[in-house]
Amino acid sequence: MGAGAFSNLAYFHRVAVGVTLEDVPLWFNLSVGFSTAMDIPKLGLLGRAGFFDRFEEVAFRVKEQYIKLVVEVPK
């Protein structure tokens, strides 16, 4: 179910988001949306633009609380 299914508003703020891939820290300055409608555990994901679109592959294993991010390594 996408965020469009909720009637609540989303409030966007610029935040720094960091992840570590194979011991390499990556930081992104993003506009991130927050909404009280997204307080349901494991459902608080709004959109892909600016973060997930930077990766070649993104996979979720919700039960294991696992996210796989794959980057393309330049040759």
Q: Render 20-68 in DSSP notation, one character per residue.
A: EETTEEEEEEEEEEE-GGG-STT------TTTGGGSSEEEEETTTTEEE
Mean model confidence pLDDT for the chain:
76
| Inside any domain, residue 34 | yes
Assess if residue 53 is contained within a domain.
yes
Give tens-digit pLDDT for 21-48.
888 888 888 888 777 776 555 555 656 6
What's the total number of domains in the chain? Answer: 1
Q: Residue 71 pLDDT more than 70? A: yes
Q: Within a domain: residue 14?
A: yes
Handedness of CA 48, 61, 28, 38 (dihedral sign): positive
Domain membership of residue 75 (yes or no) is no
Domain that holds residue 34: 3-70
DSSP 12: E
